[in-house]
Amino acid sequence: MARYRNIVVLTGAGISAESGVATFRDAGGLWEQHRIEDVATPDAFQRDPDLVQGFYNQRRAQLFTVDPNPAHIALGKLEQLLDGTVTVVTQNVDNLHERGGSKNIIHMHGELSKVRCRHCSIVVEWLEDCTQETRCPNCSDAPALRPHIVWFGEMPFDMERIESLLYACDLFVSVGTSGNVYPAAGFVSAVRSTGVAHTIEINLEPSEGASYFAETRHGKAGDLVPALVDELLE
Ligand code: APR
C-alpha cells in the first residue's frame, strides 16, 4: 500500500453496529421504529418537545451500555501511530470514537453527550436526561435546552473545515454508511474531483455510492478496519 500522510475517515452508524448501537436504515433500524418527522426535525421539537427529549434521553442513556469495538480502537491507533494526519469525520452522535482513542474528530451531526441552550447558545456536556424543566446551567432559562444534534433540515456542523480536509487528503475511507444522506454522501465525489486521492469504502454491503469509490471492501467494520489500519501502518 502507498504511504498516505493525510487521511480522512468518514464514519456512519455501521461502525458502531458491532458495539450494539442500532443503525438507522438496516432491518430493525431506528427509522423503522420512529418516524423521522416525529423525532428528528425542528418542527417535531416545536410540536412535541417531550417526545423528542425522551427519544434523545433514551439514546444518551444507551451510551453507558456500549463500548468501542475493534474498528473504533483501530482508528485511534492509526491517529496515534501514523506519520501524518488522520481526521475522523463522523455522522455518528455517539462517543465511541473518543472512547476508542481518536482525538481528531469532527461530529458533523452533533453529539448525544452535549446539549445546547436556545437562548444563550452555550453548548455543554450533558450525560443525564434533559427535559423541558431543565434549566440552562449558564443563563438559567427553561425550557431552553435542546439536544446538540443536527436534525433533518438543519446545517451539519463544520462544513467548511470538512471541505478543506476533503480537498487536501491523499486517502479517503468511508466506513459503515449507507450513502443516503447528504452532504456526507457527496464527500467521495469531492475527493475524487482532485484526482489525487485514493478512495476506499468499507461497508457490510455495497452502499448507494459504492460505484464512486476506487476500492471497496465489504464485510464487518470490526474485521476490515483493523486490517486496513495494519496495512496503512506497515
Ligand atoms: N460493519 C460495516 N457496515 C455495517 C455494519 C458493520 N458491522 N452493520 C451495518 N453496516 C452498514 C449497513 O449495511 C448500512 O449500509 O452501515 C450502514 C448504515 O447505514 P444507515 O443506517 O443509513 O446509517 P448512516 O449512513 O450513518 O446514516 C446517515 O442518517 O438518519 C441520519 O443522522 C442520521 O447520521 C445518520 C445519517
Q: Give average pLDDT by consecutive 10-residue segment, the chain, 234 residues.
A: 93 98 93 95 98 97 97 98 98 98 98 98 97 97 96 98 98 97 97 96 97 98 98 96
Q: Cα of 99 to ligand 1 centre, how many Å?
A: 20
CB of 109 closer than 6 angstroms to any ligand 1 atom: yes
- pTM (whole model) above 0.85: yes
- pLDDT for 1 equals 75
Tell me if 18 CB under 6 Å of ligand 1. Answer: yes
198 among known catalytic residues: no
Find the 144 Cα to ligand 1 centroid distance in Å: 31
Of the candidates 62, 19, 49, 12, the residue with the CA atom closest to the CA atom of residue 147:
49
Label residues 82-105 b or e (16+ Cβ within 10 Å = b). beeebbbbbbbbbbbbbbbbbeeb
Tell how strand 6-11 and strand 198-203 pair up. Answer: unpaired
Give the pLDDT confidence score for residue 205 in this predicted structure.
97
Ligand 1 contact via 24 beta carbon (within 6 Å)? yes
| Residue from 23, 72, 106 to probe ligand 1 pocket by mutation (most atoms less than 8 Å from CB) | 23
> What is the separation of C-alpha 121 from the centre of its chain, rounded to a whole number of angstroms?
22
Ligand 1 atom closest to 152 (CA): 32
Could you tell me the three cell numbers for 24? 438507522
Considering the candidates 72, 97, 107, 109, report the single residue annotated as catalytic. Answer: 109
User: What pLDDT, on the 0 to 100 scale, is given for residue 2?
Assistant: 75
Is the distance from CB of 97 to CB of 10 less than 8 angstroms?
no
CA of 207 to the centre of ligand 1 (A): 9
